């Protein structure tokens, strides 16, 4: 624990959950010290996640009344310098590099602003090693000639208090450290795909993705706070569906463009035969697979797509596609493939259908108005 108070302490911020408690502790320990918060995290990937964390750090800083200095988001150098460390374990060589990358810049910025010392809220993270950070901070102190302030806010029940404060303050609690490699490793351990790294083809589907849902919750939280309306901030488990790849081949092996409605699922490529045509619909012999032609699609949805390619890039929302399924008689939990073709495949046609899609449970932020 430091023995004297610096006059101006420059605090590198990693995320609101760590910084809110860490800054609160600094305030109590150093009541006469000016604090400057500094958000510099080019390691965070992808940019949508970076923006969510920055959004919440802004709110946290405002609640605490601490000025926040925001650095521009530039992950290219970080990614380039981390080449070769992709598979390093947490708290290993890659984390050590990441600390140095961010704290070197922080020390330099602190000197530019005339601060007496600097520190980092990474010290509050349960995913990081305090002795490792203390050691690297001491080395940076010698390199830059500015004091590193070593503060342990995790011991003696500090981590529990940090989580309690994060919950009470309705902070955004991310589910991975920040970098691309940590995200992939965590998802592999959970046997899940990293949805954060998948970008839908259509802007409409991006609005329904995991980042859009999280941002909506944070914006809703902020709106209720500003308007003085009571709310409950928590998380809900929900299913995300995303089509990765759909291929329909006729009896000659030629690919026929088609659009698969949410939430069409197949566990493996399927050989099919068209058994029935009826009022613009085709019914196949397996897995409840059905199809409609583009003319029927336009009549049912009042859309004006002139080609399947246009439909693929500009589909309805998932909610609207589910409603269309219900109108066609599907049960609410149906995952049988429902396709759209410009023209239906011929009656009796043998064909092959391949669908690679995600159907994955995720936990996302949720705000309920009270």
Which residues fall in the annotated binding site? 14-15, 95, 98
For 143: left if phi > 0, alpha if psi spans -120 to 50, otherwise beta; the answer is: alpha
Q: CB atoms < 10 A from the CB of 333, how many?
A: 6
Annotated binding site for [4Fe-4S] cluster: 14-15, 95, 98
351 DSSP β-pair partners: 272
Q: CB atoms < 10 A from the CB of 73, how many?
A: 14
Angle between the N-to-C axes of helices 47-64 and 16-29, in degrees from 0 to 180, rounded to the nearest 10: 30
131 DSSP β-pair partners: none
Q: DSSP secondary structure string, 27-67? A: HHH-TTSEEEEEE--TT--SHHHHHHHHHHHHHHHHHHT--
- Please identify which residue in the block is written with the tokens 């080019």: 42
42 in Cβ contact with 75 (< 8 Å): yes
Pairing of strands 8-13, 117-120: parallel
For 77, list phi and psi in degrees, rounded to 5: -65, -40
Tokens of 299: 């009549």
User: Distances in Å between the alpha carbon of 149 and those of 16, 45, 119?
Assistant: 19, 28, 5
Angle between the N-to-C axes of helices 130-144 and 93-112, in degrees from 0 to 180, rounded to the nearest 10: 40
Q: CB atoms < 10 A from the CB of 231, how many?
A: 16
24 in Cβ contact with 165 (< 8 Å): yes
């Amino acid at each position: 624990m430091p023995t004297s108070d610096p006059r101006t302490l420059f605090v590198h911020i990693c995320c609101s959950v760590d910084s809110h408690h860490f800054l609160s502790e600094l305030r109590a320990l150093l009541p006469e010290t000016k604090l400057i918060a500094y958000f510099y995290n080019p390691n965070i990937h992808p940019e949508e996640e970076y923006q969510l964390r920055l959004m919440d750090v802004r709110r946290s800083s405002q609640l605490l009344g601490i000025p926040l200095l925001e650095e521009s988001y530039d992950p290219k150098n970080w990614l380039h310098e981390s080449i070769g460390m992709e598979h390093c374990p947490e708290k290993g060589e890659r984390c050590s590099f990441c600390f140095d990358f961010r704290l070197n810049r922080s020390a330099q910025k602190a000197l530019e602003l005339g601060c007496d010392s600097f520190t980092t809220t990474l010290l509050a993270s349960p995913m990081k090693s305090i002795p490792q950070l203390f050691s690297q901070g001491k080395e940076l102190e010698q390199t830059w000639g500015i004091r590193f302030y070593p503060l342990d806010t995790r011991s003696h029940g500090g981590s529990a208090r940090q989580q309690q404060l994060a919950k009470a303050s309705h902070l955004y609690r991310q589910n991975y450290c920040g970098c691309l490699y940590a995200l992939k490793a965590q998802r592999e351990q959970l046997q899940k795909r990293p949805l954060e790294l998948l970008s839908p083809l259509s802007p409409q589907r991006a609005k329904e993705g995991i980042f859009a849902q999280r941002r909506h919750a944070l914006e809703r939280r902020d709106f209720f706070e500003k308007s003085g309306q009571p709310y409950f901030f928590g998380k809900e488990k929900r299913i995300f569906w995303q089509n990765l790849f759909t291929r329909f081949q006729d009896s000659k092996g030629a690919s026929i463009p088609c659009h698969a409605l949410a939430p069409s699922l197949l566990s493996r490529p399927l050989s099919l035969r068209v058994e029935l045509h009826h009022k613009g619909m085709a019914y196949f012999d397996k897995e409840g697979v059905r199809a409609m032609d583009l003319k029927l699609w336009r009549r049912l949805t009042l859309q004006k797509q002139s080609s399947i390619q246009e439909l693929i890039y500009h589909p309805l929302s998932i909610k609207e596609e589910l409603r269309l399924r219900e109108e066609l008689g599907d049960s609410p939990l149906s995952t049988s493939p429902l396709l759209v073709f410009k023209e239906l495949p011929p009656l009796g046609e043998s064909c092959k259908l391949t669908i690679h899609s995600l159907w994955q449970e995720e936990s996302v932020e949720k705000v309920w108005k009270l």
